[in-house]
Amino acid sequence: MRRRRDTGVALLMLGPLLVLLGIFVLWPLLHAVWISFSTWSFYEAPVFVGLENYVNVLTDEEFSASVMRGLAFSAMVVPTQVVIAFVFANLVKSVSGRVATVLKVTIYIPVVVSEVIAAIVFSLIYAYKGGLLNWFLGLLGAGEDTAWLGETATALPAVAVPAIWIGTGLASLIMLAGLLDIPEVYYECASLDGAGAWTKMTRITLPLMKNIILFLLVTGFAASLQFLVVPLVMTQGGPLDSTMLPNLFIFRHFTNDLYVGYSIAAALLLFVVLGAISAIIFRLVRSEKAVDG
Amino acid sequence: MLRYPLAALFVVATLFPLAWTAVAGFKSKTEVVATPFQFFPEVWQWDNYSRMLADEAFLRSLGVTFAGAVLFAALSLVVNSLGAYVFARLEFAFKRTLWVIVLTTMFVPAIAIMLTSFIVVTQLGMLDSLTVLVIPGAASGAQVFFLRQYYLGLPTALEEAAQLDGAGPWKIFTRIFVPLSKGAFVVVGATSFLAFWNSYIWPVLTITDPSLFQVQQYLATFRSDRTSEMALLMAGSTLAALPVIVLFLIFQRQIIAGVRLSGLK
């Protein structure tokens, strides 16, 4: 038995949602697509230019450099996060309830603290003079102090650390939820057959966690390519563009350029690909348990 | 066993930057950047904290951000829970199409529509007001999705009984669904509040009036303008992080359970 159709009242209740999404997401999206095919500034009527903006983006070495930098940044951040999350989840599962709660709460606290504060705190940790990191390395016997945010070789890894600090909490809790979903019976049976911890890990845990790990890699990848606030506050992309990640590159063009078609084309280009990848993976992972709407 | 040392390591590594921020707030102006580095201050002094708490601009930014965050959370709850209920329970024309559209908005990256959203709010005359911070982001595909999943899991017996008594969708929603949604509402309300409190980029673009500066804006401006007062900034950062940490600790059980719900289930 299914209920009658209530189109009128349904649309009324949906009204606020649809109006807000329409005005502040869908219309801006369509408008952005249109602007990406034109020369457009706040002061002039737009002129259709076809693919010119896209060609400019794709042939701009600064843009491709920022994308490569973004990939390098992702390669530092995402695997580290996933490995930490995996260790964390297994640890939480193996300790008593109270310790588990403390761990879960603790790991999530950086998620609720703002990126601006993270940027402020970490830049002071990296400070050349009186910074905590140089002091700590000095204790370990390192001779020279390093200006972590001032040198092109160290600035990007130095921005990656707060990114890991901020993002690991969410990944860890999702990993834990997946780990706790594996029926305990599997492990008990394996123990009866004489399987050791390593066999259980490689034959039960990892295969069953495959989807979750994939999900975390993809969402982590998407999130790390969109990382913006920390490098903006910490380094403004410097020194010598060494922390100019893709979103920051686009953001700088937004705020500096008179004609914004270029930066919008860059944003769309980058994220159509990224969004498509995430959406596909999202569907694949979810389809196994989807509740039909 | 290695478990408990490892657990301790996790806790220390995670909380260390924040603990250090709070402690640095008790240092003197020169001590915070002194070489050699010292974790604890020579003399614990409240001066930075009391100065921040007497700083009108800082207090105003806390107040304005708090008011905005409460309004934002309330608006998000109303708009998204109504939408979630409709998609979970009602049958209507174009349902699938509209659902796909709502889902699609989840994947639109903020940066792609940042500039055109800015054009929209400029044309609507919303710049430099709380409305520009509260209204544009309130509708969220992700939250509708989360709440809809929650509603799909609720038994239908109650509302079928209510339907037999002649209750319509409005009544069923306000009398049955809302009271049953406490846990889910805590998650949506708290995450909206946190997102608002921590937002920086959108306020930077839309708020130029210093009397409406959001707390993150205040901190970032402080950092670039007053580089010699790091101890004061550390105290301010601690005070600005405190409300959201307390909020999280109060609702940690629901929020952590919510991550589980929204993750892959």
The verdict on A267 touching B (C-beta cutoff 8 Å) is yes
Look at the block and give the residue holding tokens 């890894």. Answer: A157
Residue B178 makes CB contacts below 8 A (sequence gap 6+) with B81, B185
The verdict on A173 touching B (C-beta cutoff 8 Å) is yes
Q: Which residues between 22 and 81 in chain A have a beta carbon less than 8 angstroms from any beta carbon of chain B?
A: 23-29, 31-32, 35
Please give the Cα distance from A243 to A123 (Å, whole number).
14
Domains of chain A, first to last: 50-287 (1.10.3720.10)
Give the structural domain span for B111: 58-263
Measured between CA atoms, how close is A275 to chain B, in angstroms?
Answer: 6
**Residue A44: strand, helix, or coil:** strand
Q: Domain for residue B3, yes or no?
A: no
CA A196 from chain centre, in angstroms, equals 35
Please give the Cα distance from B235 to B24 (Å, whole number).
7
Please give the Cα distance from A39 to A52 (Å, whole number).
9
**Inter-chain touch B93–A88, beta carbons under 8 Å:** no
Span B176-231, pLDDT tens digits: 999 999 989 999 999 999 999 999 999 999 999 999 999 999 999 999 888 888 88
Structure token pair of residue B34: 């002194």
Percent with pLDDT over 90 in chain A: 48
Q: Domain for residue B14, yes or no?
A: no
Query: Between helices A61-94 and A97-112, what is the axis angle to 10°?
Result: 160
Q: What are the residue ranges in chain A where pLDDT is below 70?
A: 1-4, 281-282, 285-293
Q: Domain for residue B29, yes or no?
A: no
Look at the block and give the residue holding tokens 């969402």. Answer: A219
Contact B109, A267 (CB under 8 A): yes
The verdict on B111 touching A (C-beta cutoff 8 Å) is yes
Total domain count, chain B: 1
Q: How many CA atoms within 13 Å lie on the side-chain side of A238?
A: 6
The verdict on A190 touching B (C-beta cutoff 8 Å) is no
> Which of A7, A88, A120 lies nearest to residue B237, judging by beta carbons?
A120
> Any idea of the CA torsion for A101, A107, A109, A113, to the nearest 10 degrees?
-170
Look at the block and give the residue holding tokens 């999705």. Answer: B145
Residue in chain A lying closest to B237 (CA): A117
> Of B40, B155, B120, B147, nearest to A29 (Cα)?
B120
Q: Domain for residue B143, yes or no?
A: yes
**Inter-chain touch A170–B259, beta carbons under 8 Å:** yes
> Of A114, A81, A87, nearest to A103 (Cα)?
A87
Q: Which residues between 217 and 236 in chain A have a beta carbon less than 8 angstroms from any beta carbon of chain B?
A: 226, 228-229, 232-233
Residue A91 makes CB contacts below 8 A (sequence gap 6+) with A103, B3, B6, B7, B10
Q: Which residues between 133 and 162 in chain B have a beta carbon less than 8 angstroms from any beta carbon of chain A?
A: 135-139, 141, 144, 148-149, 152
Q: Domain for residue B26, yes or no?
A: no
Please give the Cα distance from A51 to A176 (Å, whole number).
46
> Of A123, A91, A126, nearest to A107 (Cα)?
A91
Q: Which amino acid is at B211?
A: S
Structure token pair of residue A69: 């930098």
Query: CA quadruple A184, A190, A195, A199: dihedral positive or negative?
Result: negative
Structure token pair of residue A281: 């993976």
Compute φ and ψ for B165, nearest 5 degrees: -80, 5
Which pLDDT does position A222 carry in this prediction?
Answer: 86
> Which of B163, B216, B259 lies nearest to residue A114, judging by beta carbons?
B216
**Residue A5: strand, helix, or coil:** strand
Q: What are the residue ranges in chain B where pLDDT is below 50?
A: 264-265
DSSP state of B91: B
Structure token pair of residue B202: 């959108």
Contact B92, A12 (CB under 8 A): no
**Inter-chain touch B256–A105, beta carbons under 8 Å:** yes
Q: Domain for residue B16, yes or no?
A: no
Q: Please classify residue A42 by burial: count the beta carbons closer than 10 Å to its beta carbon, then call 0-12 exposed, 13-18 middle and 19+ buried.
A: exposed
Q: What is the largest CA-CA distance in chain A?
A: 77
| A208 interaction partners in chain B (CB closer than 8 Å) | none
Structure token pair of residue B80: 């998204």
The verdict on B242 touching A (C-beta cutoff 8 Å) is no
Please give the Cα distance from B134 to B69 (Å, whole number).
8
Compute φ and ψ for B55, nearest 5 degrees: -80, 110
Taking CA atoms, A186 is separated from A192, A205, B35, B91, in Å, by: 10, 10, 56, 42
The verdict on B9 touching A (C-beta cutoff 8 Å) is no
Which pLDDT does position A285 carry in this prediction?
Answer: 65
Q: Domain for residue B185, yes or no?
A: yes
Angle at A200 between CA A197 and CA A201, to 5 degrees: 85
Q: What is the CATH number of the domain that holds B112?
A: 1.10.3720.10
The verdict on A293 touching B (C-beta cutoff 8 Å) is yes
Measured between CA atoms, how close is A41 to chain B, in angstroms?
Answer: 11
Q: What is the ipTM of this complex?
A: 0.91
